[in-house]
Amino acid sequence: MGAYILRRLLLMVPTIFGIMAVSFLVIQFAPGGPVEQVIAKLSGQGSDMLSGGGGDSGQAAGSGDSSQYRGAQGLDPAFIKQLEAQFGFDQPWYSRFFGMLGNYLRFDFGESFFRDISVLDLIIEKMPVSISLGLWITLISYLISIPLGIRKAVKDGSSFDVWTSGIVIIGYAIPGFLFAILLMVMFAGGSFFDWFPLRGLTSENWSELSWPMKILDYFWHLALPLTAMVLSAFATTTLLTKNSFLEEIRKQYVVTARAKGLSERQVLYGHVFRNAMLIVIAGFPGAFISAFFTGSLLIENIFSLDGLGLLGYRSVIDRDYPVVFATLYIFSLVGLLVGLLSDLLYTWIDPRIDFESRDV
């Protein structure tokens, strides 16, 4: 197992390099880079600058020709050179790329272009929202999915299985953001009731509350976002659990266990459960990371929750490249590590699995 882990860790190096290289190359051709963002604000054109012109990386390093930037005509070339130096575009692309990778290896992500804060501090500042959404939605979906999936497998083909499948499919088909808007209209001061808040994880007077009230206030703010996200989150895990149990229930060892006189409960939880839950439990880290990093962008926007999803979106819009590349690097690295952790969970749950004898 040690050799397998080492191979996986070594393979992460070219994988991360490839991800960053392709992303860096794409950014080179993206219109409306940081220099043009500043020029747009100075000229009062705002976000219109994004729709035209080449990306900043297409600039001739240190050329000082302001005409290469849309809306920069008439500006002092020395000022343009100063902007290029400020954002690092006075250096050739390969120097910027390999310099960035060298800094990232030391987890030095620099500072945001447009926020007076280091990128790492900015990410840490936004993490509580994303952790809250990712952790709770994963736990809630698993607490719903596993018992429901087991029940559906045991009652396969019954009326219970049919109507719960209908609910699962409908829940999966409804986009989470539409359900979020419905909840907001109905319960957050829209056209009906004003029962839940619409902004942040806590109230303004949170620091003055007692600990029990702080906990209640926290979940009060999370109630609507989690409800909107959980509608479709449990569908995949429910069907996966059901199919895993059905596959195991039909195997010969289950027939043998029943023939020995074991009760259905003993067969189900003493023999089937461990084998059937292998793929579900091992997929828990990946499910959490997915919800943590990618599942909350629209929900964060709708409920004004300032988390990593909203940070990444705004960074792309603002062309805040240090934040964009840092979050991409961290997310990719964590994703690869979680993939390795999932494989290790497989071997821990079922020692019969041997990755040493397989190619990576």
- Domain with residue 325: its CATH number is 1.10.3720.10
Determine the average pLDDT of the residues in 252-259. 85
- The model's pLDDT over 177-230, given as tens digits with 9 standing for 90+, comes to 788 888 888 888 767 888 888 777 888 888 888 888 988 988 898 888 888 888
For the stretch 13-39, pLDDT in tens is: 999 999 999 988 888 777 777 777 777
Q: Rounded mean pLDDT of 335-340?
A: 83
Residue that has been written with the tokens 């940081």 in this structure: 34
Residues 74 and 125 placed together within one structural domain of the fold: no
pTM above 0.95, yes or no: no
Same domain, 241 and 334: yes
Give the end of a domain, one of 53, 81, 116: 116
Question: What per-residue confidence (pLDDT) applies to 236?
Answer: 77
Residues 72 and 214 in one domain: no
Domain stop point among 77, 99, 116: 116
Q: What percent of the chain has pLDDT over 90?
A: 6
State how many domains the chain has.
2
155 and 232 share a domain? Answer: yes
Residues spanned by the domain of 137: 120-349
Direct distance between the N- and C-terminal alpha carbons of the chain, in angstroms, rounded to an integer: 12
Give mean pLDDT, residues 229-242. Answer: 80
Query: Based on the domain organization, do 131 and 105 belong to the same domain?
Result: no
Picking from 116, 150, 185, the residue at the C-terminal end of a domain is 116
74 or 333: which carries more pLDDT confidence? Answer: 333
More confident residue, 189 or 325: 325
- Kindly state whether residues 99 and 134 are assigned to the same domain: no
Nearest to 35 by CA among 11, 15, 62: 62
Say if 340 falls within a structural domain: yes
338 and 285 within one domain: yes
Is pLDDT above 70 for 71?
no
| Mean pLDDT score of the chain | 79
For residues 164 and 283, membership in a common domain is answered with yes
Is residue 357 a part of any domain in this protein?
no
Beta bridge partners of 194: 188
CA distances from 161 to 149, 174, 224, 266 (A): 9, 20, 28, 22
* 53: region left, alpha or beta (phi > 0 left; psi from -120 to 50 alpha): left
Higher pLDDT, 278 or 56: 278
Kindly state whether residue 360 falls inside one of the protein's structural domains.
Answer: no
Q: What is the identity of the amino acid at 225?
A: P
Has residue 358 been placed in a domain? Answer: no
Check if the beta carbon of residue 177 is closer than 8 Å to that of residue 305: no
- In 42-164, the DSSP E strands lie at none
Q: Which of 330, 329, 322, 327 shows the shortest CA–CA distance to 113?
A: 322
